[in-house]
Amino acid sequence: MELNVGGWFESLINWCLANLGWFFDGIAWLTTQIVGSVEFALIVLHPLVIIALLTATAAFMTRSIGITVFSAAAFLLILSMGLWLETMASLSIVLVSVAAALLIGVPLGIWAALSSAVSAVMRPVLDLMQAMPVFVYLIPAVFFFGVGQVPGIAATIVFAIPPAVRLTELGIRQMDSELLEAAQAFGAKKSLILRDVQLPLAFPSIMVGVNQVIMLALSMVVVAGLVGAGGLGGVVVQGVAQLDTARGFEGGLAVVILAVYLDRVTGGASSLPGVLRKSNRLRKERAAAKAITPQANPEPALAVH
């Protein structure tokens, strides 16, 4: 007996196209507007201004001179290779895809952490999503949205969701049980415990998930170029199609630069709350010490009669 699983999947796709075409058209329009707005914001200013902003962000997040210098030099290199517009197009696609993946993945991770039944159901689904070859995601995406940026973004979102779910759930589940019991002993509500205890302690793990989502999204940039997503993926695909080694290498190098930059920035962001808390604590300690220290107010000398 042979099961026609592929035929069932094709029937599902055809049913969705026949009955939910209006929904996919609306998603395509909204996605195009959002990506267009982000891309316009990145290219409307002079490239040197954007490079300065990206470098300042790297300096603030990583507090590393080496990463700051690398960011400035790397983006200047992209500008000198004539790939600035393509890089900003890819960056806009990555930012929108990552934001959508996190908006879906982080709440699902919280839900899975709070419910063992949800976690049990979600685990095989996430395994399937991660094990599925990336090109397979492009097939239904092209059917639903045609060619262009939208199918590339849709495939990227689906491909990048699993790390956000898994690492959010892991960060919450690995929290010290004694802290949770202490919060419950004080009569705190579940929503308050989640907001003020569980999520702050799980923040480093969630940021690792953000980092992984970004890396997966960047890995889809070149693949999405196959369906007309443009950007650096289009440059690499064009280089392969025309056997233009120089252009293909430059496009790949720009993707690597984006990957390294976003990896270091998100890695630095995971430790930022701790640094801010330490700085705030030191500032309060200095203010308290200054308030306690007696002011030097010499009493006027008594007149001798």
**Residue 59, in any domain of the structure:** no
**CB 234 within 8 Å of CB 228:** yes
Looking at per-residue pLDDT, the higher value among 248 and 300 belongs to 248
Residue 300 reports pLDDT greater than 60: no
pLDDT above 90 for 232: no
* Dist. CA 213–CA 262, nearest whole Å: 11
pLDDT category at 283 given cuts 50, 70, 90 is: low
Which conformational region is residue 148 in: left (phi greater than 0), alpha (psi within -120 to 50 degrees), or beta? left
Quick one: tokens of 48?
């040197």
Helix (H) or strand (E) holding 273: helix 245-292
The CATH code of the domain that includes 208 is 1.10.3720.10
pLDDT of residue 271: 66
Residue 300 to residue 277: CA distance in whole angstroms: 44
**Residue 73 in domain:** no
Q: Alpha helices of 44-195 — where are they, by DSSP H? A: 47-62, 65-80, 84-114, 116-131, 134-145, 149-173, 177-185, 190-193
Per-residue pLDDT tens over the stretch 171-220: 888 877 777 777 767 666 777 777 777 788 888 888 888 888 988 888 88
Average pLDDT over residues 268-297: 63
pLDDT category of residue 50 using cuts at 50, 70 and 90:
very high
51 occurs within a structural domain = no
Range of the domain at 229: 22-45+84-271
Q: Is the dihedral of CA 275, 279, 282, 288 positive or negative?
A: negative
**Which of the pair, 88 or 227, is modelled with greater confidence?**
88
Instruction: Return d(Cα 194, Cα 172) in angstroms, integer.
Output: 9
Please tell me which residue, 181 or 65, carries the higher pLDDT value: 65
> Residues 202, 175: contact at Cβ < 8 Å?
yes
- Cα–Cα distance between 168 and 37 in angstroms, integer? 29
Q: Which long-range contacts (CB under 8 A, 24 or more apart) does 73-82 make?
A: 74/257, 74/260, 74/261, 75/50, 75/51, 75/257, 75/261, 76/51, 77/257, 78/254, 78/257, 79/47, 79/51, 81/250, 81/253, 81/254
20 or 32, higher pLDDT = 32
Say if 9 falls within a structural domain: no
Asked if residue 118 lies in contact with residue 112, where contact means CB atoms within 8 angstroms, the answer is yes
Within a 13 Å sphere around the CA of 273, how many CA atoms are in the beta-carbon half? Answer: 11
**For residue 225, what are its two tokens?**
């170029």
How many domains is the chain built from? 1
Instruction: State how far the Cα of 122 lies from the Cα of 166, in Å rounded to an integer.
Output: 10
Q: Residue 233 falls within a domain, yes or no? A: yes
Q: Is residue 287 part of a domain?
A: no
- Tokens 């267009």 locate to 36
What is the phi-psi region of residue 231: left when phi exceeds 0, alpha when psi lies from -120 to 50, beta otherwise? left
| 10, part of any domain | no
Whether residue 53 lies inside any domain: the answer is no
Q: Is the dihedral of CA 51, 208, 260, 43 positive or negative?
A: negative
